[in-house]
Structures are given as C-alpha cells and as structure tokens.
Amino acid sequence: MTSGPTCVATILDLTRRVIDAGASEHERTIPEIAELACQAGSVMPQQAPRAQTSTSSLAWLEVAIRTATTPADRALASALLAADDLIWIATYADYDGGELMAPLKTGYLVTLLAGPAEFRNYHVPYVADDYLIGFTLQAPGTYYPPHAHVARELYHIIGGRGEWQLHDGAWNEQRSGGWIFHPSNALHAMRTEDEPMLTLVAWIDGLDQPGVRIEER
C-alpha cells in the first residue's frame, strides 16, 4: 500500500481528472462543474494524516469499482479502496432522528479530500477555504430523506446506482458517470436499492452557512 501523502496526492489528481472530464462533457448543461474545476485546480496545502479508520467497513467499495463505467472512475474508486489515510465517517451516527433515519446512520459514509481545515470535525487532507470535495458511500437499501442546504452542490456517480429526487418531483435513476446539480436550498433526496452507490460530492460555496436541514416524512 502506498504511503499516506502519495496516496492522497494520487486521489486528488484522479479526482481533478474526473471533474475536468465532467466540465468538458457538460459545459452547457451543468456549467457549475467548470466552476468546480477552476476551484480544484488551485494549489492546496496538505495537512498531516491522522490515525485512520479501517477500510474493513467499506466492503461496498469493491462492488462500486466493478460497476464504474469509465477508466477514470474505476481508477478513482480503486484508489479510494486502497487508501489508508482517509477517514470515513458515518455522518449521522449520532443524529437524533426517527425510524426513517436508522438505515442512514450505518449505511451512509463520508470522507473529505479538500475543504476548510477541521470542517465540522472532519479531518481534511487538503485545505481549501471556499469549497469542499469529498466522497460518499451509500449502502444498498438506504434512503437519505429530503434535505437542503445553502451550499450549491454537485454529485458525480463514480460507481453503483441510485435514485434522486428534486423538490418532491419524480425519482430519476442515476448510474456511474452521471452528474447531478443541486441549487442553493433545493430540497433533494437519494435512495439505493440492490446496489451501493459511490459518489464524488462537492460544495462550491456556502460553507460558512448552517448545515444540512433534514425533513423526515
């Protein structure tokens, strides 16, 4: 396994390639990807790695790698699986929610690659004050209830399959290679069925505003 600094540097490089490809492919339909590409192209100072979580809890990453459809996505997913210097957190493990939130507490993991130092108790390998880039791993059969936030948000499906809903509208299936944009304060939800879903997620502004607002129903 590669050393810590080399590993996150590789992940950063692969992430930038995926973002650049998305910016080129969706130049007219999702111009926010190009905005993210400009942000991610800046040089960022690196923080020292910490004691890390075991990847034994990330078995679904292996499944996601097999469903990634492009060489760039497969390379990025493989690098995430091999990383021993990223901290994956069950974001809602301590969330005081109802029964609807129970699967999300163990079935939704997040790790950050770049963003403000110590952003909401995450360890961020690369410091970026105005945006964040991370990854989510959503287990099969996991529902993320409708939620919203001030930050404009981009998702890229690296591997797997899920369904997305915007403003209580119809559910739309998204597979590996897809991009989704959420405007500021847009209510959205995600769910998985028989496959896990590995995504690249980015907030391109609004990091100094209140966090995610969840509507359980």
Question: Model-level pTM?
Answer: 0.91
Q: Residue 217 pLDDT more than 90?
A: no
- Per-residue model confidence (pLDDT) at position 57: 55
Mean pLDDT within 65-86:
89
Q: Residue 201 pLDDT more than 90?
A: yes
Listing DSSP states for 65-130 in one string gives HHH--SHHHHHHHHHHHH-SS---EETTTT----GGGHHHHHHEEEEEEEESTTGGG---SEE-SS
Q: Which residue, chain included where needed, has tokens 């990223």?
A: 86
Report the percent of the chain where pLDDT is more than 90. Answer: 61
Q: Residue 31 pLDDT more than 50?
A: yes
| Band of residue 166 on the pLDDT scale cut at 50, 70, 90 | very high
Residues 10/88, Cβ–Cβ less than 8 Å: no
Residues 108/142, Cβ–Cβ less than 8 Å: yes
Q: β-strand 108-115 against 126-127: which pairing, if any? A: parallel
Average pLDDT of the chain is 87
Give the other-Cβ count within 10 Å of 56's Cβ. 6
Superfamily of domain 4-214: Jelly Rolls (2.60.120.10)
| Band of residue 50 on the pLDDT scale cut at 50, 70, 90 | low
pLDDT in tens, 77-116: 999 988 877 888 888 888 877 777 888 888 899 999 999 9
Q: Residue 56 pLDDT more than 90?
A: no
Q: Residue 17 pLDDT more than 90?
A: yes
pLDDT in tens, 142-156: 999 999 999 999 999
Q: Residue 54 pLDDT more than 50?
A: no
Q: Residue 5 pLDDT more than 60?
A: no
- Per-residue model confidence (pLDDT) at position 100: 78
- Per-residue model confidence (pLDDT) at position 3: 47
Mean pLDDT within 152-179:
94
